[in-house]
Amino acid sequence: MAEEIKIKKKVAKRGDDGYKIVSVRMKDELIDKLDRLSADTNRSRNELINLLLEASVDIVKIEE
């Protein structure tokens, strides 16, 4: 009989970290602006998009 049973820790699946993957179509010009901003701030494009969305989502006003 085996002396011990080894069980590996479960690896978190993608999305289990509180983030979801979202695919968005963007114009080339916007991607270029994001890439320049990314280079200037030393942040990833993904990080910048999240920062910009978080800063703007609460200030949107819907017009009737």
pLDDT-based confidence at residue 47 (cuts at 50, 70, 90): very high
Structure letter (DSSP) for residue 31: H
Look at 51 and 14; give whichever has higher pLDDT: 51
Mean pLDDT for 34-61 is 93
Radius of gyration of the chain (CA): 20
Position 24 scores a pLDDT of 96
Length of the chain counted residue by residue: 64
Helix/strand/coil percentages in the chain, nearest 5:
40, 0, 60
Residues 6+ apart with CB under 8 A from 15: 21
Closest CA to 34 of 57, 53, 14: 53
Position 4 scores a pLDDT of 83
